[in-house]
Amino acid sequence: MEYLLTAGFAFLVINAMLVSASVLVYAERRVSGFMQNRPGPNRVGPLGLLQPFADVLKFVLKEDVQPAAANTFIHSLAPVLMVVIAMSTASLIPFAEGVVVADLNVGVLMLLALTSVTVYGITLAGWSSNSKYSLLGGLRSAAQMVSYELSMGLAVISVVLVAGSLNLMEIVENQASGGALLGWNAVRNPIGCLIFIVTAFAETNRAPFDLPEAEQELVGGYHTEYSGMKFGMFFLAEYVNWFIAAFMIVTLFFGGYLIPFQPQLLALAPGLADSVLFPFLQFGSLMLKVSFFVFLFIWVRWTFPRFKYNQLMMIGWKYLLPISLANAILVALGVIFFQTYF
Amino acid sequence: MAAAPFMFFLLATVSVVAAIGMLVARSPVYSALWLVLNLFCVAGLYLTMNATFIGVIQILVYAGAIMVLFLFVIMLLNLDALPQLEEIDWGMVAGFVLGVVVLSQLLYVIASGFDLPMEAMGASAETGSAESLGIALYTRYALHVEVAAVLLLAATVGAVMLAQKRFE
């Protein structure tokens, strides 16, 4: 029975992720249109709301072309890998108190492990296409993700030090002090928060770190040789990864599903904590915070130009890594000597 | 509990097949991918033994970091696949199989001489947790951890020394 419940919930989460990807595509196109002073998609359905479904239909109906020199098996395996890994990361997100698909006691590490495995999909896609553009795109992304993973790991370690747990739910609950606003890790650990957000942009290959698919130099990057639904799967994985990155930023640094001023709210209405409404309120507060970060991703994409490759490596190794190392040591010292403040 | 032996035999079979595949594959990329599959299966075996921390670290470090670098180098050097074998020497194959049989019999005889527990040690969720592992590493095995850290540091410094440009 317990297995069935978990399976049903996982099914629900996966479908929610699939739908949210199409919503994100629509949001991104509308917001970018707004930023560039043009209407964006507004013809298909009211306000263009049916545009993402038209896009999906187009992906499904298009012919699947495979290069003659491509490695057939790996060429088909790579997009599947991308989607599977993106979807399994979604199982780690705590949506409300006690509502999570996989409540692992090493949840944070699992998150890092899954992020690091994502590289395979991209590099294999680049290699198996047997094309120069794809290979260069794949190699670039592997180098980029390996470089930024270290800083991301150290930023996560600083969070783990403060919370004293590797469980994502416990990390969220740990941020409940100080009116569930001052206790947020973004306040207690601002440098770690900034580093995590920057590395999240790099790990999801979003602008300004979208070198793997720099159109001017590499055509389409690692997915140049993909068409039809296989390209659609890369597209889907990319948007789901982006969505999950927003969830993780909120979970680790902005109180996750905690409602701002939650203790005061509970003191005012004592019956609220046990009511059916409470998880929904928490879920709503989580989604509001996540929407802000989703918007931030689009905002940054249309505001900053792309980095050059040498700049990317310089930022990763010469600035972010030493800063995140120093931050981890500082936070560790802070936890030892100023425990009352943390 | 019926799921546990089933998972063990599934993962063990796949990991052995993947290990053989890694040795037999003619293309270096396929070899690396077989090894990744093998590492994932070993991580799964750790998970069935309640060692969640080690299992996840196995994926994170070996599959996520080391094998990505392997693959990166293989693709960067664009290594060609070895030529396909013209013909299989069946005499060699038969010799190999007989050798494995004799070796396993010898090992069985030697192993039965020792008083080994046939049942797996009952590992609870606590023994495999990050807390108990950390406490063990930083109290009882603190010296070993320090020695390993110094060794790794020496290796890193050595790699930097070898890789740096020499300015006259």
Residue A218 domain flag: yes
Q: Tell me what pLDDT residue B154 has.
A: 95
**Cα separation of the two ends of chain A:** 40
Instruction: With respect to residue A153, please indicate whether it lies within any of the assigned structural domains.
Output: yes
In terms of residue numbers, what domain contains A169?
70-337
For residue B60, the chain A residues in CB contact (below 8 A) are 109, 112-113, 116
> How many domains is chain A partitioned into structurally?
1
Tell me if the bond preceding A212 is cis, omega within 30° of 0.
no
- A6: in domain: no
DSSP notation for B38-75: HHHHHHHHHHHTT-HHHHHHIIIIIIIIIHHHHHHHHH
Of B64, B129, B130, nearest to A113 by CB-CB distance is B64
Classified as helix, coil or strand, A332 is helix
**For residue A276, is it within any domain?**
yes
Where does the pLDDT of residue B118 fall: very low under 50, low under 70, confident under 90, or very high at 90 and above?
low
Question: What pLDDT is recorded for position B1?
Answer: 44
Say if A40 falls within a structural domain.
no
In A, minimum Cα distance to B55 occurs at: A110
**Chain A residues near residue B65 by CB distance under 8 angstroms:** 116, 146, 149
Tell me: the pLDDT tens digits for A78-128?
899 889 998 888 888 888 887 888 888 888 888 888 888 888 888 888 888
Q: Which residue of B has its CA nearest to A148?
A: B65
pLDDT at A282 over 60: yes
Residue A217, in any domain of the structure: yes
Residue of chain A minimizing CA distance to B78:
A127
pLDDT-based confidence at residue A325 (cuts at 50, 70, 90): very high
Cβ neighbours of B36 in A, within 8 Å: 120
Most confident of A251-260, B76-85, B152-161: B152-161
Residue predicted with more confidence, B142 or A99:
B142
Contact A146/B56, CB-based, under 8 Å?
A: no
pLDDT tens figures, A186-219: 878 888 899 999 999 888 887 787 776 766 667 7
What is the nearest CA distance from A123 to chain B, expressed in angstroms? 8
In-domain check, residue A266? yes
Interacting residues of A153 by C-beta distance below 8 A, sequence separation 6+: A112
Give the integer Cα–Cα distance in Å for A283 and A107: 19
Q: Which neighbouring-strand residues pair with A274?
A: none
B45's CB contacts (< 8 A; 6+ apart) are B8, B11, B12, B15, B55
- Chain B positions contacting chain A at CB under 8 Å are 29, 33, 36, 52-53, 56-57, 59-60, 63-65, 68-69, 71-72, 75-76, 125, 129-130
